[in-house]
Structure 1
């Protein structure tokens, strides 16, 4: 692999670290309001969402953990296979209707954050393999 390509990949990996901070900021500030709204609607007494809400509460790390939990719930309930529906029911009530805008405020920033982490890891893997 050429040095210019390795150099470009290194910059992409480096920039993705900082670009990944933007969705993280959205998750713990603006987007968390929608996480709380979704939790209020779908939480069951013994579900994972209510348990996480009790354990993690509302500090910075807690907001990230609760957002990840609601993200998993939304993804699981969107997949039509019984296995995933069962997993969603372990977290909360999958039959509760939710506005799409609320779901977008949770799904989009978390996906962007995960994409930034994946981009960083992959570019670092490729760059480190080609340096040696």
Structure 2
């Protein structure tokens, strides 16, 4: 059992690198497009764009910001809409394909990290 869980944990680490590569390359193009449409003068997305710029860590941080904005604006409760408005303009319409290029790789990367952590916890509790 530990052998199987170990392989699941290692595979999730390596599989988690694939969405990361998509986020840093192809997906970042859509992050920039979304930023250009939704950024407000005082919003968090425009601040992140200025602070993080376009290097590797910056791309990941900017993609995370846009991901949070997209998730917040999709939740219909006022609290989340307010959080989305702190990042950018939640009323801007965006093509679903652009949103998919940001949301899907980020969710897959987070899923891989969670899988790795859970398998590690299970292995530690079995020992």
TM-score (normalizing by structure 2): 0.99
Shift in Å, 1:9: 1.0
Shift in Å, 1:57: 0.1
Describe the SS at the equivalent of 1:20.
Answer: helix
Aligned mates of 1:23, 1:128 — CA distance in 2? 27
Q: Which residue of 88, 93, 96 corresponds with 2:89?
A: 93
The match for 2:27 is 31
**What is the CA deviation profile of residues 56-106 of structure 1, one whole-angstrom value per residue up to 9, with x for unaligned ones?**
000000000000000000000000000000000000000000000000000
Is 1:66 the counterpart of 2:62? The answer is: yes
Which runs of structure 1 show a deviation greater than 2 angstroms over 4 or more consecutive aligned residues? none
Q: 1:45-84 maps to which residues of 2 (within 5 A)?
A: 45-84=41-80
How many residue pairs end up in the alignment? 127
TM-score (normalizing by structure 1): 0.95
RMSD over aligned Cα, in angstroms?
A: 0.5
The match for 2:11 is 15
5+ long unaligned stretches in structure 1: none
